[in-house]
Amino acid sequence: MANQMKPNSKHLFVGLCLLLMASIIAGAALGAIPIEGSDMYYGLRNGILHHEQGNIAQQVFFSLRFPRVLLSAITGGSLAVSGLIMQAITRNPIVEAGLTGTSAGAALGASLVFVFTPLLPGLVPLFSIHFLLPAMAFAGALAATLLVYKMSGVNGYVQATTLLLVGVAVNAMAFSGIGFLSYIARDPQARSITFWNLGGFSGANWLQVGISVMIAIAAVTYFTKKAFTLDVLQLGEKEAVYLGLSIRVTRRNLLLVNTLLVATLTAWCGVIAFVGLIIPHLMRKYTDGTHRPLIAYCFVGGAILMVLADLAARLVMAPAELPVGIVTAIIGAPIFILLIRKQLFY
Amino acid sequence: MMVVVQNMSLQSGTNYRLRDISATFESGKHHIIVGPNGAGKSSLLQVIAGSIPPSSGNVYLNEQDINNLSVEKIAIQRAILSQQIHIAFPMKVLDIIHMGRYPHKNSEVIDHENLIDQIIQSLQIQSLQHRWYQSLSGGEAQKVQLARVLVQLNAAESPDQKLLLLDEPVSHLDPQYQQEIMRQAQQLVERGVTVISVLHDIYLALQFADQLYFMKNNRLLYTQSLKEQLLPELIEKVFEVQVEIGVHPITKRPFIIYL
C-alpha cells in the first residue's frame, strides 16, 4: 500500500503509453519474417489506399502482422478492464472473466458455431460468420455469467468465495460441453476448437479489429462514465444503496456491458486467462484506487502485456508458434496463487 | 424531518422481525432506540432508511409514504452511519469523503468543495485526508465515514428537512471517539435535523437522548421522554437487570448503575 511513487502520476501514464507504442512496433517488426520500418510505412500506405501490392514483407505487415498486433492490444486492454470491473462489482481482487464462467461460456457458444455451421450451410450466408461467432459467444458468456452470479448470491448479496467455486463448476460444465463438441466434430473443426480454447491471435483480420475497436470504445466509455458509481460500490452494497444507488440496475448494466466486451473478444481470439487478474492488481499500486484513472491504466497495461505475450508466443518456438493463452497462464497462474495466499494470510 | 411509523410490521416468511410498531419521530430531536440483542432495533432502522419495504403498515417521511419514494430520492434527504465499513481495495480518505456527493452528483447548486472543507475542519480530520483509509485506526475510520455521511446530509441547507440515522455508530470505539461522534450528532439535532440512533450502550443513550424507545421481542414496548423521570422498572423489564437511576447534579442528565 505504501508506495514511493505518487498515485495517478501523469509521467507514469505517458511512459506506459510510450511503452505500448514501442511494444506495438516491436510486435509488428519481429516474427517469422522480420519487417523493416520502411516496409511498415509502405505496407500501411498501400493497404489503406488500395494500391497495388508491394513486396512480401509489406503484404505480411498489412494483412497479417499489423491487424494481429492491434487485435492483441485491444484484447489485452479490454480483458484487463473487464477484470477490474468484475473485481469492483464483487469487491474481491481474485475475480476475472476466466474464473467466473464468462470466457468458458463464450467458448462453448463459439464451439457450437464451429461444429454446427458446416451442417447447416443455409445459415452462414444469412448471418455472416463474423457476426454469428460473437453473437453465439455473447449468448454463451451471458448464460454462464448469469448462472454463476445467480447461484452465488444470497439474498441479492454475492459472496466472492462462493462466486469462485460456482465459477469453477460452471467452467467445468462449459469445458465438458466443448470437449463433447470437439469429440463429435470432424478433424478441421476439432482442431480449430482446440486451438481456440488455448487462445491465440493468428486468425486476426481487419474486420475483427474494426468490430473490437468499436465495442471496446463503447464499453470503456461506459465504464469511465460509471467510474464514480464503481468507487461508491467499494463501500459495500448496503452503503451504496444508502447513497441512493439502485444496486440491481447498476449491477445488471455493468455485467451486461462487461459480458458483451469479453464475449466479442473471446469470439475472435479464444480463452485467455489471468490478464484480467494481474493487470488491475499491478495498476492499483500506481493509482489512488479510484476507477477513473484505474480504467485508463488497466487498458494500457493490459494492452502492453498482451502484445508482448503474443510476441513471446511467436518467438519462443519460431517458426512454430505457441497459443498465447499458454504464455499468459504461465505468467498469470503463479501471481494468482500469490494473491490468494496474500488474501488468506494478511 | 418528521418520521411517522404506523402499525408497521416486517415479516420474513412466517417470522416477525418487527411487529405492529407505531411511533412519531419529531424533527430537531435525538431519538435513541435501545433494547437487548435481536430486539429488532436495526430492522426498524432499515425500514425507516427505505432499504427494506415494510410488510404491512406505513412509514411516512415528511408525510410522504416511503413506498412511493425511490432510493435516489430518499438519499437526498437522509444519511446513515453504520458501524465499521471495510473497504477491500486501497483508497484515499478524501475520495471516500467525496462519495457523500453521490446522491447530489447532478446538483449544480451545492458548492461541494466548500462543504467538504467545512466538514473536514469541524471534525478536525485535516491530517487524515491524504492518507490511505486502510491505514486508519477504527476511531479515525469512523470519523471519516461520518464526514462522508455529513457531506451526503448537507445539513447546511434546510436542516429541518433532513434525517440522520445512526446504526450502532460507536460500537467497539474508544470513549474519546464515542463522545466525539455522538456530540457531532448532537450539534445537528440543535440545528433542527432529526436524528434516530440505535445503541446498545444505555449509558450513552441516557447521555444524548431526547426521547428513548425501548424495544424487545420485535416490539416497541415503551417510549419515554427524558424530560420526565425515568423509571428503573422500565429498564429492568426490558434488559432483565437490576438498576438504580440517578440524576447528575451538573448536567441534570440521568445515569444508571447496575445493581
Q: What is the pLDDT of residues B50-69, one digit of tens each?
A: 989 999 999 999 999 999 99
In a domain, B69, yes or no: yes
- In angstroms, what separates the C-alpha of B201 from chain A's closest C-alpha? 23
Joined grid coordinates for residue B142: 469512523
Contact status, residue A136 vs residue A112, Cβ threshold 8 Å: yes
Euclidean distance between the first and final Cα of chain B, in Å? 39
> What digits encode the pLDDT tens for the residues A70-90?
999 999 999 999 999 999 988
> What digits encode the pLDDT tens for the residues A255-291?
899 999 998 888 888 888 889 988 998 898 889 999 9
- The arithmetic mean of pLDDT across residues A110-132, rounded, is 72
Distant-in-sequence, close-in-space partners of A163: CB < 8 Å, separation ≥ 6: A90, A92, A95, A100, A148, A149, A152
Of B86, B87, B102, the CB nearest to A244: B102
Angle (CA) A15 A214 A24, round 5°: 35
Domain count, chain A: 1
In a domain, B25, yes or no: yes
In a domain, A288, yes or no: yes
In a domain, B75, yes or no: yes
Q: Give the 3-state secondary structure of residue B24.
A: strand
CATH code, A123? 1.10.3470.10
In a domain, B137, yes or no: no
Cβ–Cβ gap A243/B103 under 8 Å: yes
Cβ–Cβ gap B95/A288 under 8 Å: yes
Write the DSSP string, A82-99: HHHHHHHHHT-TT--TTT
Domain count, chain B: 1
In a domain, A49, yes or no: no
Distant-in-sequence, close-in-space partners of B92: CB < 8 Å, separation ≥ 6: A7, A288, A289, A290, B130, B131, B132, B133
Pairing mode, if any, of strands B15-25 and A153-154? unpaired
Of A239, A242, A289, the CB nearest to B90: A289
**Max CA-CA distance within chain A?**
64
* pLDDT value at residue B82: 93
Pairing mode, if any, of strands B3-12 and B15-25? antiparallel
- The arithmetic mean of pLDDT across residues A222-235, rounded, is 96
In a domain, A123, yes or no: yes
Of A2, A92, A290, the CB nearest to B95: A290
- In angstroms, what separates the C-alpha of A199 from chain B's closest C-alpha? 30
Contact status, residue B166 vs residue B81, Cβ threshold 8 Å: yes
- In angstroms, what separates the C-alpha of A278 from chain B's closest C-alpha? 15
Pairing mode, if any, of strands B30-34 and B194-198? parallel
Cβ–Cβ gap B72/A246 under 8 Å: yes
Q: How far apart are CA A120 and CA A152, in angstroms?
A: 37
In a domain, A53, yes or no: no
* pLDDT value at residue A127: 59
Cβ–Cβ gap A231/B99 under 8 Å: yes
Distant-in-sequence, close-in-space partners of B131: CB < 8 Å, separation ≥ 6: B92, B93
Pairing mode, if any, of strands B211-216 and B30-34? parallel
| Mean pLDDT rounded to a whole number for chain A | 85
With a cut of 70, say whether residue B258 has pLDDT above it: yes
* Structural domain for A307, as ranges: 65-345
Q: How far apart are CA B47 and CA B66, in angstroms?
A: 9
Q: How far apart are CA A344 and CA A339, in angstroms?
A: 9
- In angstroms, what separates the C-alpha of B49 from chain A's closest C-alpha? 8
* Structural domain for B45, as ranges: 3-85+159-258
Cα–chain-centroid distance for residue B65?
A: 20
* pLDDT value at residue A3: 47
Cell 435535523, residue? B193
With a cut of 70, say whether residue A346 has pLDDT above it: no
- % pLDDT > 70, chain B: 100
In a domain, A52, yes or no: no
DSSP H helical ranges for A1-128: 10-29, 37-49, 56-60, 66-90, 102-116, 123-126
Please state the three-class secondary structure of B190-257 as a single string. HCCCEEEEECCCHHHHHHHCCEEEEEECCEEEEEEECCCCCCHHHHHHHHCCCEEEEECCCCCCEEEE
Contact status, residue B128 vs residue B78, Cβ threshold 8 Å: no
With a cut of 60, say whether residue B129 has pLDDT above it: yes
Q: Quote ipTM for the complex.
A: 0.92
In a domain, A313, yes or no: yes
Q: How far apart are CA A54 and CA A70, in angstroms?
A: 21
Angle (CA) B212 B218 B224, round 5°: 15
- Is-cis flag, bond preceding B90, omega within 30? no
In a domain, B105, yes or no: no
Task: List B18's β-bridge partners, or say none.
Answer: B10
Q: Which residues in B lie closer than 8 A to residue A234 (C-beta atoms)?
A: 87-89, 91
Task: Note whether B169 contacts A: Cβ–Cβ < 8 A.
Answer: no
Task: Note whether A284 contacts B: Cβ–Cβ < 8 A.
Answer: yes
Q: Give the 3-state secondary structure of residue B8.
A: strand
Cell 453521490, residue? B102
In a domain, A7, yes or no: no
Measure the CA dihedral B105/B106/B108/B112, to 10°. Answer: 0
* pLDDT value at residue A199: 80
Cβ–Cβ gap B132/A236 under 8 Å: no
In a domain, B154, yes or no: no
* pLDDT value at residue A51: 67
With a cut of 90, say whether residue B107 has pLDDT above it: no
Task: Note whether A251 contacts B: Cβ–Cβ < 8 A.
Answer: no
With a cut of 70, say whether residue A304 has pLDDT above it: yes
Q: How far apart are CA B56 and CA A326, in angstroms?
A: 58
Q: Which residue of A has its CA nearest to B86?
A: A235
Q: How sure is the predictor about B148, in pLDDT bands with cuts at 50, 70 and 90?
A: very high
CB atoms within 10 A of CB B219: 16
Q: Is A145 exposed, middle or buried (0-12, 13-18, 19+ CB in 10 A)?
A: buried
For B188, phi then psi, to 5°, come to -65, -40
In this structure, what DSSP letter does residue B92 have? B
Q: Which residues in A lie closer than 8 A to residue B95 (C-beta atoms)?
A: 231, 288-290
In a domain, B184, yes or no: yes
Q: How far apart are CA B41 and CA B21, in angstroms?
A: 11
- In angstroms, what separates the C-alpha of A260 from chain B's closest C-alpha? 26
Of B70, B102, B132, the CB nearest to A243: B102
With a cut of 50, say whether residue A170 has pLDDT above it: yes
CATH code, B222? 3.40.50.300
Write the DSSP string, A125-174: HHS-HHHHHHHHHHHHHHHHHHHHHHHTEETTEEPHHHHHHHHHHHHHHH
> What digits encode the pLDDT tens for the residues B22-61?
999 999 999 999 998 889 999 999 999 998 999 999 999 9
In a domain, A59, yes or no: no
Q: Which helix (H) or strand (E) holds B258?
A: strand B254-258
